[in-house]
Structure 1
Amino acid sequence: MTAAWWVLPVAYALDRLLGDPRWLPHPVIGMGKAIQRVEAAIRRLVKPRAYRAAGLLLPLIVAGGSFVLTLAALHLLAGISPWLAAACEALLIWTTIAAKGLRDAGMEVCGHLRRGDLPAARRSLGMIVGRDTERLEPPEVARGAVETVAENIVDAVVSPLFFALLGGAPLAMAYRAVNTLDSMVGYKNDKYIHLGWASARLDDIVNYIPARLTALLLISASWCLRWNAAGAWRAVRRDASSHPSPNSGYPEAAVAGALGIRLGGENGYHGVKSFRAYMGEKSRELEPDDIPRTAKLMFVVSGAFVLIATGLWIWMAGGMHWI
């Protein structure tokens, strides 16, 4: 658990207020550089036929190293002052959350769509998705933004908070390292099919429980907002497992059902068409306002999780401990 009951609420509040300031050095940048160096060392020292076994080294070194370094730093700070260690832990957990950044990226796309600037909306969407965006029509641009925000409610918000609750900043940082590994080497292409398999599989494993917890929270949030909670429940039960990802279908299906829209369909990746299973039912065309609606669901879910997690911390700690 975190060092003090207030660490998670403070970390979440910092993200809501400040997001990811450019002036603040971000641990993910260091993780990215570490991944590049470890990968380069493996390719230099290991023969290609041993890449599959060597792929285990990437999460072991990068995620394990993130955990150990964070734990050691907090231990040293605790020797100086428990308050200093707790404050540093809140700052570190803050860097693993990206709710505000996710919302801002989605709202940039929404703003362009509302103004009728389709080329700018396509460019903004292209900054946050891997699919081809150059020829997308407004409903498809909106779909891309909604899907990205919905999917990343797990990766960028609930999962880091979940692991922070279980193991404080060290486990949250290890999770962020796993997620960064997946985004950099977790591809089923010729370059990473063997070297990146362990990173991709580990990312699926660590997000398994948070993804399903997020779906339940999204259904509850849609009920609290008096949106279509029954539709969200039906979509999760019927459609979530059809997604190519073992986890992404749960938040996407829940959001689709809650908003009464249909996600999924045909996407293009470097000119190659790929069909994603449909999530939800198409009761209407997607519109720009579906992007802030999805962000609203994200904030209700994340705020609820922080309240629940704080209550669990106090309960597991056996009472109110201020430090």
Structure 2
Amino acid sequence: MILYSMQELLLMIAAAIIIDWIIGDPKWPTHPVILIGRWIKWLEGRLRQRDDSLSDRSRLLRGCVLAISTLAVSTCVMLALVKISGWIHPWLGYAVNTWFISTTIAVKGLKDAAMLVYNPLVQGKLEKARTYIGYIVSRDKETMDEPEITRAAVETVSENIVDAFVSPIFWALLGAAPLAMCYRAANTLDSMVGYRNEKYEYFGKCSARIDDMMNFVPARITGICIVLVAWVTPGLHAKRAISSITHFASKHPSPNSGIPEAAVAGALGIQLGGRNRYFGVWHDRAIMGWEIEALKADHIKKSVRVLYGVSILIWIGVMLGWLLLSATK
């Protein structure tokens, strides 16, 4: 999918990252991710009619229809918008592509969500912190103390370094806004139907597998980036981040999420994972990292520092690529 030269694409991606740093993720009704979510909900309702009478195979096939159609519609609509705007005027095409890439990343949005938890936590307002942690995790929050709230927030930031930044940038490099939006559609599918429970075990399997595949390479790039950020950031530990990835990442139930989570745990010297309660039922998650420091609110801020460090590192890499290509012309 060649829409722009690599030099043009690198500059637009760099601009998109800056837009996200400044503006963030506007919660407009017409935001692409909201529209994708509405499409998924609408199509799921039609595909799951008389669900009780469907076989597991039928649920699996219908789930594949949902996943493939969602990816196709998202990519094709985005491709049409970019193409049409480029035909009207090249600069309009650049602007449209840049803007839509920026809507697929959410560094500022992730930071804002984490800091909403951090601020009341450091002020001793535990109930308020529980309220805000409930916005980003589905765990039972009523009895969560400061270490549990901190762990939930740090785990969310760590895992979403991939989903909210590195993966959309990776796919944008391969196919501009259309492939970045295709990834965002896959990630939205996974967040809505990619669960291993009675309702979605078969219907959501295709969506979950596609998300795993699209995150596979970006997750490993993220691990390398976190180590590099830890290496240049005072108070973080690069060697321990590497050791943590080696020892713990493969134990995570996700083939991808364990890498950034283990890396952040090692870099910060904390232990993530463990017991979580969902709807009154306890679940055990694999342990990530060593408990060198007890979990406290400040670790949320440190995880956000890692998030921004990764985004700055990749922005620098994008700009260096652009400068290198410019110099060779």
TM range (shorter): over 0.9
1:99 maps to which residue? 107
TM-score by length of 1: 0.95
Tell me which amino acid in the other structure corresponds to 1:285: A
1: CA distance, partners of 2:138 / 2:63: 24
Q: Note the alpha carbon deviations across 1:109-129, whole angstroms, 9 max, x for none.
A: 110111000111111101101
**Which of 7, 10, 34 pairs up with 2:12?**
7
Aligned length: 320
- Aligned ranges 1:128-277 → 2 under 5 Å: 128-226=136-234, 227-277=236-286
3-state SS of 2:255 partner = coil
> Where does residue 86 of structure 2 map in the other structure?
78
SS of residue paired to 1:274: strand
Segments of 5+ residues of structure 1 without an aligned counterpart are none
Cα displacement (A) at 1:21: 2.4
User: Residue 295 of structure 1 aligns with which residue?
Assistant: 304
Equivalent-residue separation in structure 2 for 1:76 and 1:85 (angstroms): 8
Distance 1:200 1:23, change over 3 A: closer
In structure 2, the CA distance between the partners of 1:321 and 1:101, relative to structure 1 (3 Å rule), is: farther
Q: Is the 8 A contact 1:2 1:169 kept in 2?
A: no
Partner residue, 1:43: 48
CA-to-aligned-CA distance 1:124-161 (integer Å, 9 cap, x gap): 10110111111011111111101100110000111111
CA displacement 1:8-56 (0-9 Å, x = unmatched)? 1111111111112235731111101111121122123886121112211
* Separation (CA, whole Å) in 2 of partners of 1:34 and 1:144: 29
Local SS of the residue matching 2:48: helix
- Counterparts of 1:31 and 1:161, CA distance in 2: 19
CA distance in 2 between partners of 1:80 and 1:321 (Å): 30
- Give the CA deviation at 1:319: 3.6
Could you tell me which runs of 5 or more consecutive residues in structure 2 were left unpaired when the two chains were aligned: none
CA contact 2:244–2:265 (8 Å) conserved in 1: yes
Alignment of 1:98-117 (within 5 A): 98-117=106-125
Separation in 1 of the partners of 2:169 and 2:327? Answer: 20
Instruction: Say whether the 8 Å CA contact 2:14–2:318 is kept in structure 1.
Output: no
Q: TM-score, normalised by structure 2?
A: 0.93
AA aligned opposite 2:148: E
| Amino acid in the other structure paired with 1:249 | G
CA distance in 1, matches of 2:142, 2:99: 38
- Structure 1 vs Structure 2: percent identity of aligned residues? 44
How far off is 1:281 after superposition? 0.5
Match of 2:128 among 120, 124, 137: 120
Contact 2:11/2:322 (<8 A) preserved: no
Question: What RMSD in Å do the two structures reach over aligned CA positions?
Answer: 1.8
Contact 2:273–2:285 (8 Å) recurs in 1: yes
Deviations 1:217-245 (A, max 9, x none): 00010001132101000000000010111
Aligned AA for 1:291? Answer: I
SS of alignment partner, residue 6 of structure 1: helix
The ranges of structure 1 where at least 4 consecutive aligned residues each deviate by more than 6 angstroms after the TM superposition are none
